[in-house]
Amino acid sequence: MKVSELMTRDVRLIEPTQTIREAARLMADLDAGILPVRDGDRLVGMITDRDIAIRAVAQGRGPDTPIREAMTDEVLYCFEDDDTDAVERNMADIKVRRLPVLNRDKRLVGIISLGDLAMKDKAAKVGAAMAGISQPGGQHSQSGALHS
């Protein structure tokens, strides 16, 4: 099965110059925990509710802090024509629960999450991916260390 068959297509983006308050408000409106960050027509990062909590609030930064100061700027992604089994394994290896989905022109076309992957009736594989993701470390680790 291809990622394009399971991904969420309606993706809202935010700019790195906007504030973490704006990001949090948009996340609340969308009931989402992650937003892709764009600069013009380029995907330049991702901001999560966890980034806001750990990289901003916990460090004493206020709600007017620009997103660029809390976002993850190493963008990990998959392609819409990638096989979902390979993406599940990759998500476990890199310890993420969601990935932006790009087309071959490297334009954002969606987001794939473990929840999306669970919908394809392979709970055992998603469970294995979640077990890998749940190991300490990863991009949004409280230690701040990045692990690939």
In a domain, 146, yes or no: no
In a domain, 19, yes or no: yes
**DSSP secondary structure string for all residues of 69-130:** GTSB-S---EETTSBHHHHHHHHHHHT-SEEEEE-TTS-EEEEEEHHHHHTTS-HHHHHHHH
The number of domains in the chain is: 1
The CA distance from 46 to 61, in Å, is: 18
Return the CATH number at 90: 3.10.580.10
In a domain, 26, yes or no: yes
In a domain, 107, yes or no: yes
Q: pTM (2 decimals)?
A: 0.75
If phi > 0 it is left, if psi is from -120 to 50 it is alpha, else beta; for residue 147 that is beta
In a domain, 140, yes or no: no
User: What is the domain extent for residue 79?
Assistant: 3-133
Q: Supply the pLDDT for residue 146.
A: 40
pLDDT tens per residue across span 63-105: 999 999 999 999 899 999 999 999 999 998 988 889 999 999 9
Q: Supply the pLDDT for residue 141.
A: 47
In a domain, 38, yes or no: yes
In a domain, 52, yes or no: yes
Q: Average of pLDDT values for 7-21?
A: 95
In a domain, 143, yes or no: no
